[in-house]
A = this chain, B = another copy of it.
């Protein structure tokens, strides 16, 4: 019942009109990525998402993955779709040309990821994990490892995983027990069991390259004794051909709330041959390179679901005839009005819309800064790196929280029909839910923000956001047309500044105070960031509307900005009061009384 059309018009608006993606080609390494190249790439991506991946979304959820004799089968059609995906060159898009990649900017990559997540979140996880492993291996692996493994991963014929979690340790990696024994030939033998391994075993690729955290025999305790290893499913001969099956196998697959077409595996390492990535005991650093990229990508999963659920709900609300407008029949010829006439239905649709479009702008802004941090000179670079480090936990947590909220609004708009599996909306709610949990729960993201990012370099990271926003507000404070946006933005920003000071001050005295504020602070930060971006989107829309024939597009943009300011942003006042109340009520509560 759901349908999905890639929101290309809006993607182009964000990329080119709002974020100046035209200037990408001026950056060294991105010379080819002019609009002439980006536009057709977006269109091709839209096509495969709409025509190949989306039609497998429902069937994949119903069928799920199966494990038989150690072999995991993905749902019907996934193998063929993955082949089409590889033939289109999509796995190599964001990779380094040195290993066969196309070196595309993140700004482009993130919009393609969004479309994939809208169309089929479970499918997107397979290449998504490979991309994460690529980032880690290309950053920290030896030349030999890179030469041996990266080209096939870039091509998509091999896939990757990240094996961190064990039954007794998820967030706290210091507890992990998987062991690595050095061999005479310089390789290692891995023993242990990992769980919650996405794409740990499947039938889409010829080989699976596991990146595994484990301890060397002489490892110090805790997180300082963790090393990273590469452990292929099949060993690879010097000529690149596949050799013997390695001692790694899938023990079971999880039965989950959602993302059922994505295989979530228990992986057993029984003396499996593995190779050290980077230095001994420095595995977490390498893994975090991957993790940060993954966290942005997981945020985009929330965005993808927000968009898809909005589209489904809007279509339903336009078609479903039920009751009459409160202010008198709008369509008296028909037996009832479409439910889109109801203000409460519009409230839900506009909330979805304001979130999806706002989150898109934030995701692209983060990607732009990532591009700048990699492809520009030192002055720009540091600021861009600061910004990316600061907003990574916000993008991850805010976008996934809002993704789930949007999917649930979509269900609410569809009423009972939203609860029925075949109609597709409830799947969005089940699929989106995991994104708030994996790659560090959203609570962990909030702690990362207040505990690491805020205090880092005496608050320097904050300036990468606070300075431009503060300058923007000042520059536009006299603009009459923008006043309705700049004023509430200014108010929210003031709250954010005050809350920041409070969290920093109280957290210095007592770290539990920072922890108690963390989740609400992250949301306050995120909603303020969206207010900034909505103001800029309104500004661009006012000016573009005058030169363009696409008036309605810009009018809708401005109207959505207004809705966001008046009806969504006020949340920040409650968040602010909660934060300012401090954490005493939580910490004083008697543990035995829970």
Contact A587 B346 (CB under 8 A): yes
Least Cβ distance of A574 to chain B in Å? 4
Contact A434 B447 (CB under 8 A): no
Asked whether any CB of chain B lies closer than 8 Å to the CB of A196, the reply is: yes
8 Å CB interface, A302-328 against B: 314, 317-318, 321-323, 325-327
Q: Which residues of B have CB within 8 Å of A576?
A: 570
Asked whether any CB of chain B lies closer than 8 Å to the CB of A340, the reply is: yes
Contact A566 B578 (CB under 8 A): yes
8 Å CB interface, A38-53 against B: none
Per-position 1/0 for A374-416, Cβ under 8 A of B: 0000000000000000000000000000001000100110011
Q: Which residues of B have CB within 8 Å of A562?
A: 585
Stretch of A29-37, A76-84, A166-174 with 4 or more beta carbons under 8 angstroms from chain B: A166-174
If the complex has contacts A172-B336, A556-B590, A571-B574, are A433 and B415 also in contact, measured as CB distance less than 8 A?
Answer: no
Per-position 1/0 for A537-573, Cβ under 8 A of B: 0000000000000001101100110110011101111
Per CB-CB distance, the 6 closest pairs between chain A and chain B, nearest first, are: A570-B577, A326-B511, A556-B593, A343-B516, A343-B515, A574-B574
By beta carbon, the residue of chain B nearest A418 is B437
Q: Which residues of B have CB within 8 Å of A426?
A: 256-257, 433
Per-position 1/0 for A269-283, Cβ under 8 A of B: 000000000000000
Q: CA separation between A322 and B444, bound complex, in Å?
A: 12
Contact A419 B344 (CB under 8 A): no
- Some 27 contacts from A to B, beta carbons below 8 A apart, are A170-B415, A171-B323, A171-B415, A175-B336, A255-B420, A256-B419, A256-B420, A257-B420, A258-B419, A340-B591, A343-B583, A344-B519, A346-B587, A347-B583, A348-B443, A350-B589, A353-B594, A408-B433, A412-B436, A412-B441, A412-B443, A552-B592, A555-B593, A559-B589, A560-B589, A570-B575, A573-B574
By beta carbon, the residue of chain B nearest A169 is B322
If the complex has contacts A170-B415, A420-B254, A433-B419, are A567 and B552 also in contact, measured as CB distance less than 8 A?
Answer: no
Asked whether any CB of chain B lies closer than 8 Å to the CB of A514, the reply is: yes
Q: Which residues of B have CB within 8 Å of A75?
A: none
Contact A429 B433 (CB under 8 A): yes
Contact B438 A416 (CB under 8 A): yes
Asked whether any CB of chain B lies closer than 8 Å to the CB of A147, the reply is: no
Of B165, B327, B422, B511, the residue contacting A416 (CB under 8 A) is B165
- Which of A343, A349, A591 has the most B CB atoms < 10 Å from its CB? A343
Beyond A344-B443, A419-B434, 14 additional contacts (C-beta under 8 Å) are A165-B416, A169-B322, A172-B336, A175-B322, A255-B421, A256-B420, A343-B516, A344-B519, A346-B516, A346-B586, A350-B589, A563-B586, A563-B589, A568-B578
Q: CA separation between A592 and B348, bound complex, in Å?
A: 16
Of B327, B345, B582, the residue contacting A511 (CB under 8 A) is B327
Q: CA separation between A563 and B589, bound complex, in Å?
A: 9
Q: Which residues of B have CB within 8 Å of A301?
A: none
Q: Which residues of B have CB within 8 Å of A471?
A: none
Contact A317 B574 (CB under 8 A): no
Per-position 1/0 for A153-188, Cβ under 8 A of B: 000000000000100111110110000000000000
Asked whether any CB of chain B lies closer than 8 Å to the CB of A518, the reply is: yes
Asked whether any CB of chain B lies closer than 8 Å to the CB of A510, the reply is: yes
Asked whether any CB of chain B lies closer than 8 Å to the CB of A512, the reply is: yes
Q: CA separation between A183 and B314, bound complex, in Å?
A: 45
Contact A442 B412 (CB under 8 A): yes
Least Cβ distance of A22 to chain B in Å? 26
Q: CA separation between A412 and B400, bound complex, in Å?
A: 12
Of B353, B559, B587, the residue contacting A588 (CB under 8 A) is B559
Contact A342 B170 (CB under 8 A): no
Contact A317 B594 (CB under 8 A): yes
Per-position 1/0 for A490-503, Cβ under 8 A of B: 00000000000000
Q: CA separation between A183 and B441, bound complex, in Å?
A: 64
Asked whether any CB of chain B lies closer than 8 Å to the CB of A261, the reply is: no
Of B344, B353, B404, B589, the residue contacting A556 (CB under 8 A) is B589
Q: CA separation between A317 and B553, bound complex, in Å?
A: 48
Asked whether any CB of chain B lies closer than 8 Å to the CB of A105, the reply is: no
Contact B419 A589 (CB under 8 A): no
Q: Which residues of B have CB within 8 Å of A171?
A: 322-323, 415
Contact A416 B586 (CB under 8 A): no
Of B317, B343, B585, the residue contacting A512 (CB under 8 A) is B343
Of B256, B326, B513, the residue contacting A451 (CB under 8 A) is B326
Contact A581 B570 (CB under 8 A): yes
If the complex has contacts A336-B175, A438-B416, A589-B559, are A446 and B594 also in contact, measured as CB distance less than 8 A?
Answer: no
Least Cβ distance of A262 to chain B in Å? 12
Contact A585 B573 (CB under 8 A): no
Asked whether any CB of chain B lies closer than 8 Å to the CB of A335, the reply is: yes
Q: Which residues of B have CB within 8 Å of A588?
A: 559
Of B404, B447, B585, the residue contacting A566 (CB under 8 A) is B585
Contact B567 A581 (CB under 8 A): yes
Q: CA separation between A353 and B585, bound complex, in Å?
A: 13
